[in-house]
A and B are shown apart, each in its own frame.
Chain A
Amino acid sequence: GAGVSQSPSNKVTEKGKDVELRCDPISGHTALYWYRQSLGQGLEFLIYFQGNSAPDKSGLPSDRFSAERTGGSVSTLTIQRTQQEDSAVYLCASSLATGPGGNEQFFGPGTRLTVL
């Protein structure tokens, strides 16, 4: 596709269930980022991938959160034993490369997660 896609667009789950969020970056983009945006708040940086590698996982909120990327393309963010405070919009972005250079991030439409 032409842009970053994310699925599902909306996910409602019960507390304690596991959820898996998917991100398809722009083809050829080596860098992939996950963010969380709570209602009316800014973006919270969770993790980034350079290729299939995520060198720093310290941004993940807890050990219930994990992410992986395969084939340098699709990434999944998994939240185990969801809690109500996990409710937020999860945004994925991709860029041509990492580093402080002008490689702008292209954002997907996000997945709105609601934990009941």
Chain B
Amino acid sequence: AQKITQTQPGMFVQEKEAVTLDCTYDTSDPSYGLFWYKQPSSGEMIFLIYQGSYDQQNATEGRYSLNFQKARKSANLVISASQLGDSAMYFCAMRGEDSGGYQKVTFGTGTKLQVIP
């Protein structure tokens, strides 16, 4: 079974500082994808970054980078130079296949990030 764990229900960061949001996962599927989404108070889900299980390098997208440590099964999101607009819920998610060969998508419980001016 797939599992995503986000242990930080809430985080504060000073504007312009970097922040790391933790995500650990568990799966028996050797091929999977890891995603991070941002959900502002407006409710929309915004895709941030993707990491494939076979990707050798950590994914980066602008101010977002994914610290992928496969042996530790962690996929932490690093946001550099935080901005006030980064205040939102952040969800880690995994897409893979279960033992029956069916696709499953599992989301973590989220981390609420608040950027302090």
Binding site for B on A (CB under 8 A): 33, 35, 41-45, 48, 50, 55-56, 58-59, 89, 91, 93, 98-102, 104-107, 109-110
Query: Could you tell me if B33 and A42 are in contact, using CB atoms closer than 8 angstroms?
Result: no
Q: What are 16 residue pairs bridging A and B, where the CB atoms are less than 8 Å apart in the complex?
A: A35-B107, A42-B109, A42-B110, A43-B93, A43-B107, A45-B105, A50-B103, A55-B102, A56-B100, A98-B103, A100-B29, A102-B50, A102-B52, A105-B35, A107-B44, A110-B43
Query: Could you tell me if B110 and A104 are in contact, using CB atoms closer than 8 angstroms?
Result: no
A contacts with B: majority SS:
loop
Binding site for A on B (CB under 8 A): 29, 31-33, 35, 37, 43-47, 50, 52-53, 91, 93, 95-97, 100, 102-110
Chain A residues closer than 8 Å to B105, beta-carbon distance: 33, 35, 45, 48, 105
B contacts with A: majority SS:
strand
A89 to B47, CA, bound (A): 18
Q: A42-B91, A102-B52, A109-B43 are in contact. Are A48 and B107 (CB under 8 A)?
A: no
Chain B residues closer than 8 Å to A44, beta-carbon distance: 107
Query: Could you tell me if A100 and B52 are in contact, using CB atoms closer than 8 angstroms?
Result: yes
Nearest residue, chain A, Cβ from B34: A100
Chain B residues closer than 8 Å to A98, beta-carbon distance: 103
Query: Could you tell me if A43 and B91 are in contact, using CB atoms closer than 8 angstroms?
Result: yes
Query: Could you tell me if B109 and A41 are in contact, using CB atoms closer than 8 angstroms?
Result: yes
Nearest residue, chain B, Cβ from A102: B50
Chain B residues closer than 8 Å to A35, beta-carbon distance: 105, 107
- Given A56-B102, A109-B43, output 8 extra A-B contacts at Cβ < 8 Å: A33-B105, A42-B91, A43-B107, A89-B43, A93-B45, A98-B103, A107-B45, A110-B43
Query: Could you tell me if B96 and A100 are in contact, using CB atoms closer than 8 angstroms?
Result: yes
Chain B residues closer than 8 Å to A102, beta-carbon distance: 33, 50, 52
What's the minimum C-beta distance from A60 to chain B, rounded to whole angstroms? 13
